[in-house]
């Protein structure tokens, strides 16, 4: 598989939904496969909260492949011998695109808490500008799960003729109180950690020592990414062998799992980026700028393919089913199909249980 990483710099302003302006800014992205002569084989993959532009393949020395490597590559569901795949790191994230820790040209210091709040629309606008800078004016498909699914839906509503197919997995048209409540735990844990220093921490200190507030918030997040059944299957009531059952801080395996994922996370993910990204997710509403969600969805002209997962506790199946039903009621039934995939895994099923849906997406992409 041909894999390349590139970065594009923009000096022209990006006018944000908040009324603020981001200038200059840059976006890092990866490409996979070969662009055909008429640029008609482009598939954009949009990433979730903690994802990055490294969606597939490995670089020399990598311990892990890209986060959707089982789904994207030569001969896989998104076949990079046929399609040219692009994945960009969202602005606001901490893997190379402009973020809160980037230098503010007005002060020559990191933005930190002076970075503007971004919306999904802002992120997508920046992506479209990257695509057009590459001479790409239409997409064969956009594919995204969770926060990536929010971006996919945004393409359908705000750029209704830009892509032939939109695939939205494990996502929602607007973030509900359940998800916002989980995010609140993270926000408060980070803000009240003395080492956060009101956003004035040193990045190297966090990478070396971690940040307990972000670790605790990430633990809460992981609970929402799984489900009761997946926890039963994965951990049961197994106890850590080295810990005594009657030690006060002895741990069940599920506790060790949360500790490992929580405390390792701040070593590679920036706390301010995390705060800004969950704010972006919290305020996401596909009906913004329209009277109702039905009015907003009525703008869609491309083919939408929705996939929910029955055990998803974060963005429940009925949230995606609502979008489907509104479109049918709008008389747009010919533009949309909806599949609820039986899964006990939880929200992260779209990253893990690929064999339950990848063949469906492959068939549509290549039909």
> Are 92 and 100 spatial neighbours (Cβ–Cβ below 8 Å)?
yes
Q: Which residues contact 52 (CB under 8 A, 6 or more apart)?
A: 67, 89, 93, 95, 96
Question: 264 an active-site residue?
Answer: no
C-alpha span between 45 and 351 (Å, rounded): 13
For residue 89, give the H/E element and its range.
none
The one catalytic residue in 222, 312, 343, 348 is: 312
Q: Identify the bridge partners of residue 336 per DSSP, sorted by sequence position.
A: 304
- The reply to whether the predicted model has a pTM over 0.95 is yes
Distance CA 160, CA 310 (A): 29
Residue 288 is predicted with a pLDDT of: 84
pLDDT bin (cut points 50, 70, 90) of residue 16 is very high
- The three-class DSSP label of residue 223 is helix
> CB atoms < 10 A from the CB of 31, how many?
20
Q: Which is catalytic among the residues 47, 140, 305, 347?
A: 347
User: How large is the average pLDDT for residues 60-66?
Assistant: 86
> Domain residue spans in the chain?
3-174+286-366, 179-279
- Residue 70 phi, psi (nearest 5): -70, -10
Summary mean pLDDT of the chain: 96
pLDDT at 280: 98
Alpha-helix residue ranges (DSSP H) falling in the chain: 120-133, 147-158, 177-191, 203-209, 212-225, 228-234, 253-264, 271-282, 293-297, 317-329, 349-352, 358-366
Class of domain 179-279: mainly alpha
Residue 59's pLDDT is what?
85
For 143, 202, 286, 306, 325, the CA distances from 297, given in Å and listed in that order, are 18, 43, 8, 14, 11
Residue pair 47/27 in contact by the 8 Å Cβ criterion: no
Model pLDDT, residue 33:
97
Q: What is the pLDDT of residue 167?
A: 98
270 is catalytic: no
d(CA 33, CA 335) in angstroms, rounded, equals: 28
Q: Which CATH superfamily is domain 3-174+286-366 in?
A: Alpha/Beta hydrolase fold, catalytic domain (3.40.50.1820)
For residue 81, what pLDDT band results from cuts at 50, 70 and 90?
very high
The pair of structure tokens assigned to 187 is: 């926000």
pLDDT of 156-177, one tens digit each? 999 999 999 999 999 999 999 9
Which of 146, 227, 230, 273 is the catalytic position?
Answer: 146
Grade residue 107 by pLDDT with cuts at 50, 70 and 90: very high
CA atoms of 170 and 144, how far apart (whole Å)? 9
Q: In the structure, what pLDDT confidence band is assigned to residue 312 with cuts at 50, 70 and 90?
A: very high
Whether 312 is a known active-site residue: answer yes
């Amino acid at each position: 598989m041909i894999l390349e990483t590139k970065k594009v710099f923009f000096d022209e302003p990006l006018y944000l939904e908040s009324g603020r302006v981001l200038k200059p800014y840059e976006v890092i992205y990866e490409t996979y496969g070969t662009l055909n002569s008429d640029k008609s084989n482009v598939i954009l993959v949009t990433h979730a909260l903690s994802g990055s532009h490294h969606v597939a393949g490995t670089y020399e020395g990598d311990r892990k492949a890209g986060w959707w490597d089982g789904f994207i590559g030569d001969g896989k569901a998104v076949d990079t011998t046929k399609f040219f795949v692009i994945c960009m790191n969202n602005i606001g994230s901490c893997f190379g695109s402009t973020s809160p820790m980037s230098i503010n040209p007005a002060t020559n210091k990191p933005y930190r808490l002076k970075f503007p709040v971004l919306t999904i629309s802002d992120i997508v606008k920046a992506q479209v500008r990257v695509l057009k800078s590459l001479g790409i004016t239409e997409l064969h498909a956009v594919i995204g799960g969770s926060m990536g699914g929010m971006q996919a839906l945004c393409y359908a509503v705000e750029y209704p003729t830009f892509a032939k197919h939109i695939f939205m997995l494990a996502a929602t048209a607007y973030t509900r109180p359940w998800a916002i409540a989980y995010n609140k735990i993270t926000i408060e844990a980070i803000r009240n950690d003395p080492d956060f220093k009101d956003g004035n921490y040193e990045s190297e200190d966090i990478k070396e020592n971690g940040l307990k507030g972000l670790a605790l918030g990430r633990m809460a997040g992981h609970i929402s990414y799984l489900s009761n059944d997946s926890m039963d299957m994965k951990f049961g009531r197994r106890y850590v062998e080295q810990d005594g059952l009657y030690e006060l801080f002895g741990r069940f395996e599920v506790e060790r799992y949360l500790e490992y994922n929580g405390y390792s996370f701040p070593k590679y993910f920036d706390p301010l980026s995390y705060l800004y990204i969950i704010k972006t997710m919290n305020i996401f509403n596909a009906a913004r700028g329209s009277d109702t969600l039905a009015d907003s969805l009525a703008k869609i002209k491309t083919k939408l393919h929705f996939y929910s997962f029955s055990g998803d506790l974060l963005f429940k199946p009925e949230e995606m089913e609502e979008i489907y039903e509104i479109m049918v009621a709008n008389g747009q039934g010919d533009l949309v199909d909806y599949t609820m995939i039986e899964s006990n895994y939880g929200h992260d099923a779209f990253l893990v249980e690929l064999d339950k849906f990848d063949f469906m997406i492959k068939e549509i992409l290549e039909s």
